[in-house]
Homo-oligomer: A and B are copies of this chain.
Amino acid sequence: MVSQRMLQLGTARSVIRELFEYGRQRAAEVGAENVFDFSLGNPSVPAPAEVNDTAIRLLREQADTIHCYTSAPGDPAARQRIADSLNRRFGEQYTADELYLTVGAAASLCCVLGGLTCPGDEYILFAPYFPEYRVFIEGVKGKVKVIPPEPEHFQIDFSAFEQAVTCRTKGVIINSPNNPSGVVYSRQTLETLAAILRAKEALYGHPIYLISDEPYREIAFHGVEVPWVPQIYKDTIVCYSFSKSLSLPGERLGYVLVPKQVTDADSVYAAAAGAGRSQGYVNAPSLFQRVAAECCDLTADISVYERNCALLTDALREMGYHVVQPGGAFYLFPRSLEPDDMAFSERAKQFDLLLVPGSGFGAPGHFRIAYCVQTEMIERALPRFKALADSYQ
Instruction: Show the binding face of A for B, using Cβ within 8 Å.
Output: 1-11, 42-43, 46-47, 49, 51-52, 55-56, 59-60, 63-70, 103-104, 106-111, 114-118, 132, 135-136, 138-139, 206-207, 247-252, 263-264, 267-288
Contacts and interface: CB of A to CB of B under 8 A. Distances in A.
Given A135-B278, A271-B2, A251 B286 contact: yes
B283 A67 contact: no
A283 B7 contact: no
Contact of A115 (B7, B116, B269, B273): B7
A169 to B, nearest CB: 12
B52 A248 contact: no
Contact of A63 (B46, B135, B267, B275): B46
A46 B114 CA distance: 35
Given A1-B118, A47-B63, A66-B250, 5 more contacts: A2-B118, A10-B274, A69-B249, A136-B280, A249-B282
Nearest to A249: B69
A333 B262 CA distance: 44
B139 A267 contact: no
A110 B280 contact: yes
A275 B207 contact: no
A5 to B, nearest CB: 7
Contacts of A281: 103, 106-107
A268 to B, nearest CB: 6
Contacts of A109: 280
B7 A69 contact: no
A275 B10 CA distance: 7
Determine which residue in A115, A250, A271 has the highest number of CB atoms from chain B within 10 A of its CB, and name it. Answer: A250
A115 B3 contact: yes
Contact of A6 (B3, B250, B271): B271
